[in-house]
Amino acid sequence: MLSAAREGNTAVRGDTVLVQSPEAQAARIRVPFHRPSIGEDEVAEVVDTLRSGWLTTGPKVRRFEQDFAAAVGARHALAVNSGTAALHLALEAAGVKAGDEVIVPTYTFAATGEVVTYLGARPVLADCRPDTLNIDATTIEPHLTARTKAIVPVHVAGQACDMDPIMDLARARGLAVVEDAAHAIPTTYKDRPIGAIGDLTAFSFYATKAIATGEGGMVTTERDEHAARVKRMSLHGLSEDAWNRYTERGRWYYEIVDFGFKYNLTDVAAALGIHQLRRTAEFHQRRRQIARTYSEAFADLDTCVAPREVAYGTHAWHLYVLELRLEALSGSRDDLVEGLRQRGVATSVHFIPLHLHPVYATAFGYRPGAFPTAETVFRRAVSLPIYPQLADDDVALVIEAVRDTLKALRR
Ligand SMILES: Cc1ncc(COP(=O)(O)O)c(C=O)c1O
């Protein structure tokens, strides 16, 4: 059965729970699931944009793209208005068409699967590994058919998938690899930042992400033709010079050369992104510190398991997914969520596997039991607050609340 995390006065948005009303926050929630980190540089850059007279895609987007490409070591970075748009355009550029199949982990957010259907293709789900929560070559391979066109590895929580075997498998079968890197800033795989490994990579700058612009996303790629395709399709399929038509060097003339989409990022959002990106290391250091403090504080408990870090990469710590040892507990994950809420700590659950959602049953016939690892992980998973604005006192409060609640739920 599905059990979306619904928590009193908090709003649930699929992959996050955000405290909405200040009253609710004052009355009950002492540690919200997320608080953004917006500094004075971000504010000043947004104000500068507002005063510049240029609100939509312009010079700040260009700067953000250049800075982002440099940060992840990619040849091209194309800014768009959401991570979902980035995934859609990346799959489109990779050549996914109606009737194709695309391998998608069941353990992910709605966006990863839905974009496949935008193109008339079919998301074919694959199970995750119990340790990293990611798909790997062994969970992908059984689902490959003559129709498979692409694989979408998701770096869940900010921990890299084991990309070499996935790339080998894809190359051997002539498949495209589009990475869902919504959680993966700044994730590395074998000392390389995520962003230039697969054919195309999609990032998200949604409000709760490591780099936040409210809504926003980026596609990175090494290939010139993919970059040109993404750029064209992100603005109605217009010919290249349409981007410049309102600038001094622009002309009024343009041609519609494809049926595209309206996915361009605004300069207002890019103004935030430019400064958020510069703070990546600062943000990451704090997230890593919090993760270490949590893991040390839970190490002696036999009622839960801290998230494991792989040796081959750097974890971005976008999420801290604690796994419950249900066999040692008399209650469920939902009891922990409720116990934490009563102690003023907001949590979330990542993820309700895609195949358990109604539309995947009606459209594709998926049933509970299809992906046992993802289902087990889902039943045991709770995401604790982790973000740079979380003070040491907040971290201590979360630890105390988790330890107390688990003790109360112990068999
Ligand atoms: C794994 C994953 N992929 C894709 C997305 C979509 O990103 P956006 O919300 O920017 O469209 C999300 C968003 O939260 C996500 O968690």
pLDDT tens, residue by residue, 279-312: 999 999 999 999 999 999 999 999 999 999 999 9
CB of 101 closer than 6 angstroms to any ligand 1 atom: no
The per-residue pLDDT for 237 is 96
Beta strand spans in 65-136 (E): 76-80, 101-105, 122-126
Ligand 1: centre distance to CA 204 (Å): 6
Ligand 1: centre distance to CA 246 (Å): 31
Ligand 1: centre distance to CA 111 (Å): 6
| Degrees to nearest 5, angle at CA 390 with 404 and 281 | 130
Per the residue annotation, which of 60, 149, 209, 231 is the catalytic one? 209
Among 81, 84, 89, the mutation site with the greatest number of ligand 1 atoms within 8 A of its Cβ is: 84
pTM of the model: 0.93
Question: Is 97 one of the catalytic residues?
Answer: no
Sheet with 188-189: strands ordered across? 192-193, 188-189, 313-314
The per-residue pLDDT for 25 is 52
Give the residues of the chain that fall short of pLDDT 70.
1-27, 241-249
The per-residue pLDDT for 242 is 67
The tally of CA atoms less than 13 A away on the side-chain side of residue 215 is 10
Residue nearest to atom 14 of ligand 1 (CA): 15
The per-residue pLDDT for 31 is 97
Nearest atom (ligand 1) to Cα of 13: 14
CB of 112 closer than 6 angstroms to any ligand 1 atom: yes
The per-residue pLDDT for 241 is 66
* pLDDT 10s digits, 75-134: 999 999 999 999 999 999 999 999 999 999 999 999 999 999 999 999 999 999 999 999
Ligand 1: centre distance to CA 373 (Å): 22
The per-residue pLDDT for 28 is 81
The per-residue pLDDT for 8 is 37
The per-residue pLDDT for 330 is 96
Residue nearest to atom 7 of ligand 1 (CA): 83
Q: How far is CA 322 from CA 115, 325, 347, 360, in A?
A: 29, 10, 11, 27
CB of 140 closer than 6 angstroms to any ligand 1 atom: no
